[in-house]
Structure 1
Amino acid sequence: MDLLWRAAILNLVSSGLSVIGGILIFIEYSINFQHNRLATMFVFMTIGDVMYAAGYIVGNMRYHDLYVHVETNAYVIGTDCKCNTVSDDASSGLLCKGQSFVTTYASLVSFAWTCNLLITLYLYYRGHDRPSRLREWIMHIVGWILPDLCVVVIIAVSVGALGEDKGDYGVPWCWVRNVTSKGEKILWTLLAGKFWEILTYIITFVIFVLCMKHTSCNRIKADKEHVDDQSLRIQRFPYACIILLSVRCFGTVRFFLYVFDAQVSDTSHEWLLNLQSIGDGSLAFVNFVFYLFTNPPVVREYWGRIRCCKRERSGSLINPNIIEDNSK
């Protein structure tokens, strides 16, 4: 099996699980109205992750249609060409650019709301638990509009920087295409996500350390009657942001290997590609698993509902009137 096609399959599975996990998070959020602002930001971050996964699904299906399907048909016909490449028009077409734009924008939305969540979390720990209306508007601008304007994604599309990557460190889906020089590609890769991703790593680490310091010193400034409830609700969110670092780090490692022309074995390269394919597509699914494991009351509530439904169904199969008639 081709290396990129194996990576596409892994990414397709993890992306599908992310879409399902994200939908379940949205359902739980919509039927449960007892949420604070951090939980709302967590949902906003998940929206970016679900868009990201959906774009990956489209990109992997496109890769199958353009390469695997074409190559298989070529062998059936009996031609000598493996047909593992297509024309530049197909590799940089509207679908490829559209998928690149969606995944780029979605990843930046996820990074932006991760930073918003972290900053708000730290302000919670400092006692500023009620953000002003202006700060909320700023967070929405940073979370939804800034990824388009500041990172110049639309300009990247217009100059042809987004498309398919056919390089040694390429991936099955479309993102930043091969351009005239390596330096230009590195620049567009940084602007289209890697710089903001690394910046998010740094912010995550710094705020995580500060929050853990406040937790250990027991300096959460809140009313005494709400301290326990607030502690339970906000102490889990620093770990949610660590998820971003743990599942996205493999793509960052491959990026630095490309930047510094590092030589790695084929086995290491394959493992990194597979781990990147799994990690990049699994963000929303990992968020869902994290949400369940850090919300025991929610798990107990839904488990209780499932058991009640089973009891009601089993009880409805036994009609007490029939039993009474038979006894007579």
Structure 2
Amino acid sequence: MALLGNQTVIHLSEQTIVLFSCALSFLGSTLIILTYIIFKDLRTTPRKLLVYLSVSDWLSAVSYAFGVWRVFHTDSLDCVVQGAISTFANTSSFFWTVAIAVYLYVFIVRSSQRVADSLVLPFHFISWGVPLSITVAALSLSKIGYDASEVSVGWCWVKIRAPDRVLWMLLTGKIWEFLAYLTLPVLYILIKRHIHIAHTALSEYRPILSNRPQSHSFFSMADMKLTLIPIIFIVLRIWSTVRFILLLTDSPARLNPVLVTLHGIGNTSQGTANCIMFVFFTQPIRTRLCKVFCCCCKCGAEAQHSQDDRHRLPPGQEPSTQREEDSTSRVLTDK
């Protein structure tokens, strides 16, 4: 990417990579939401919080994809709308990421599910309400618009010509990002430390507990993996922070193509990372998805096989044996 006057030019390769990242994040967030809706027995509160985070990531992926596809050059109406949606969704994603870490800390370290569940309603007020208030304020004061991709990759954010642009960049995202960098590692370390101590204390009883069903454990493996969300968050978001700091120092390094590409991938990949970790790498959900997929493939194969059998029969003859087998198969399936 090169700076041309007051206009930032984005190369086609950067645009293509970031659009592909947006598409993967869109699909990943959608799959997380669908698995929560379909598999009712896996609806834990932490996974519900993950769904709320996925809604924010879904909105971010859609709005970022539109911005990268358009590559705005003026403060047009669609630029402002896209900037407002991405600002709200991105900030909301920060809050929900911290909310999940707080929930896990209270649930695991403080050993209080009742208190942890009571935090869900305040999480909604904070994680949706604060980003919405900030976005409405920025829109009312005409702070959202064309940013010359100084701290973005084609999409709109805070107007680059606004005299107080740094203040609004902080309010509409960066200050919450910095706070998340400080808060998440502390909570994550405390959670992992508590888990390590608990496992050590129970080590002498493992021969006794080895015959107990795994489902009776204090927390499931799926919930344990939610502790990895802060790490995913930091790894993906750090590139955006680096470019923001380079902007403050007026360093041309912020236009480095590799850094810009990493920024675009990082800001649009949280839905993908969460899907890989909490869908494909989570045994109960992966097993159910495999069953659904295999069932669809089996039904398709049986239908094709039945159709081939009918073609081989003489005209007017009914495949009675095949009908009996199909009936038996349906009864066994229903049971």
Into which bin does the TM-score normalised by the smaller protein fall? 0.7 to 0.9
Shift of the alpha carbon at 1:203?
1.4
- Residue 305 of structure 1 and its aligned partner are, at CA, apart by 3.0
2: distance between equivalents of 1:37 and 1:233? Answer: 11
Q: Cα distance 1:167–1:49, how it changes in 2: closer, same or farther (>3 A)?
A: closer
Q: Is the 8 A contact 2:63 2:82 kept in 1?
A: yes
Alignment of 1:1-328 (within 5 A): 4-6=10-12, 7-34=14-41, 35-63=43-71, 91-125=74-108, 126-131=110-115, 135-149=119-133, 152-166=134-148, 168-169=150-151, 171-181=153-163, 184-218=164-198, 228=217, 230-264=219-253, 269-319=256-306
| Distance in structure 1 (CA, Å) of the matches to 2:166 and 2:198 | 44
Contact 1:18 1:284 in 2 (8 A): yes
Q: 317-326 vs 130-139, which deviates more? A: 317-326
Instruction: Provide, for residues 221-265 of structure 1, a one-character-per-residue CA deviation record: whole Å limited to 9, x for no partner.
Output: 9xx986526242321111022111111111111111111234539
Is 1:5–1:172's contact at 8 Å kept on the other side of the alignment?
Answer: no
Give the equivalent residue in structure 2 for 1:83.
none
Whether the 8 Å CA contact 2:152–2:264 is kept in 1: the answer is: no
- CA gap 1:133/1:207 in 2 versus in 1, 3 angstroms: closer
Alpha carbons 1:99, 1:174 under 8 Å: kept? yes
Structure 1 unaligned regions, length at least 5: 67-85
Secondary structure of the structure 1 residue equivalent to 2:114: coil
**AA in 1 matched with 2:302:** G
CA spacing shift, 1:252–1:313, aligned 2, 3 Å: same
1:37 deviation in Å?
0.7
**Equivalent position amino acid for 1:124 in 2:** F
* 8 Å contact from structure 1 (residues 156, 162) kept in 2: yes
Answer yes or no: is the 8 Å Cα contact 2:63–2:85 preserved in 1.
yes
Asked whether the 8 Å contact 2:146–2:156 carries over to 1, the reply is yes
2:151 and 2:240 in contact (8 A); partners too: no
- The two structures have a TM-score, normalised by structure 1, of 0.80
Q: Please tell me whether the aligned partners of residues 103 and 119 of structure 2 are also in contact (alpha carbons under 8 angstroms).
A: no
Tell me the amino acid that sits aligned with residue 17 of structure 2: L
**Is there any run of 5+ residues in structure 2 with no aligned partner, and where?**
3-8, 202-211, 320-335
Summarize the Cα distance change of 1:54–1:211 in structure 2 as closer, same or farther, 3 Å threshold.
same
Shift of 1:36: 1.0
Quote the offset at 1:179 in angstroms. Answer: 2.6
Looking at structure 2, the residues matched to 195 and 262 of structure 1 have their Cα atoms a distance apart, in angstroms, of: 21
Return the offset for 1:13: 1.5
Cα offset for 1:210? 0.5
Whole-angstrom distance in 1 between the partners of 2:254 and 2:145: 27
Q: TM-score, with normalisation over the residues of structure 2? A: 0.79
| 3-state SS, counterpart of residue 155 of structure 2 | coil
Give the distance between the partners of 1:153 and 1:220, measured in 2 at CA: 47
- How many residues align? The count is 293
Aligned-pair CA distance for 1:313: 2.8
